[in-house]
Amino acid sequence: CRVLVLISGNGSNLQAIIDGCDDNLNADVVGVISNKPDAYGLVRAHHNEIDTSCVIAHVGESREEYDERLSASIEKYQPDLIVLAGFMRILSDKFVRRYLGKMINIHPSLLPKYTGLHTHQRAIDAKDTEHGASVHFVIPELDAGPVILQAKVPVYPEDDVQTLAARVHEQEHAIYPLVVKWFSLGRLAMKDNQAFLDGELI
């Protein structure tokens, strides 16, 4: 399974997936694309001898135009799976439809709770006792695709965004490589906006 990872920043999930693929004969990270030239994830890719590309947004360019260039860059890698790992751009409908069922994202909340940004702060403000992360297939609606796997963490009264984010991140690094492995083994599918593992509805 040829895995392509899209990033914008630190790339700690990218690192977890690279490490996971070392033990997974079925999957290979064949490339990393960033929309930010200074994303630390690009350094991680270089350390692991993985090819990288930058697709930087032009001033005045529409979302559709950007996504066309992104697609062209993606096609060079002929991926079987596209992994969004902290890729901080909203994707156009046309782009998402093109990769339906073969593009996944990780979101730092227990979806459907807290789509969008600032999820840790929102969980703290709401005095939630439970928070977490979700891996889901990507559909045109933001953070709304069918969930494949979630990890829960406790929220403690003394938590701030940093302590809570760190606890969630640790879980992200466990669940994301596992989902990549499931996909690479052909165990995952999306049909009619629903996710299936081994043919069973998740």
Binding residues for (6R)-10-formyltetrahydrofolate: 63, 88-91, 105
**C-alpha gyration radius of the chain:** 16
Distance CA 36, CA 39 (A): 6
Residues 124-183 that bind ligand GRF (CB under 6 A): 133, 169, 172
Instruction: Choose, from 46, 47, 107, 120, the residue flagged as catalytic.
Output: 107
The DSSP line for 131-195 is: EEEEEEE--SSTT-SPEEEEEEEE--TT--HHHHHHHHHHHHHHHHHHHHHHHHTT-EEEETTEE
- String of contacts with ligand GRF for each residue 22-51, x by CB under 6 A: ------------------------------
Annotation marks residue 169 as catalytic = no
Instruction: Select the residue interacting with ligand GRF from 85, 103, 110, 195 (CB under 6 A).
Output: 85
Residue type, 61: E
Greatest extent of the chain over all pairs of C-alpha atoms, in Å: 48
Q: For helices 40-47 and 12-22, what crossing angle results, to 10°?
A: 20
Q: Which residue is at the shortest CB distance from ligand GRF? A: 86
Q: Applying CB under 6 A, does 108 fall inside the site for ligand GRF? A: yes
Q: Which is nearer to ligand GRF, 46 or 191 (CB)?
A: 46
- Give the binding site for ligand GRF (CB under 6 A): 9-14, 85-86, 106-108, 133, 169, 172
Q: Any idea which residues carry the catalytic annotation?
A: 107
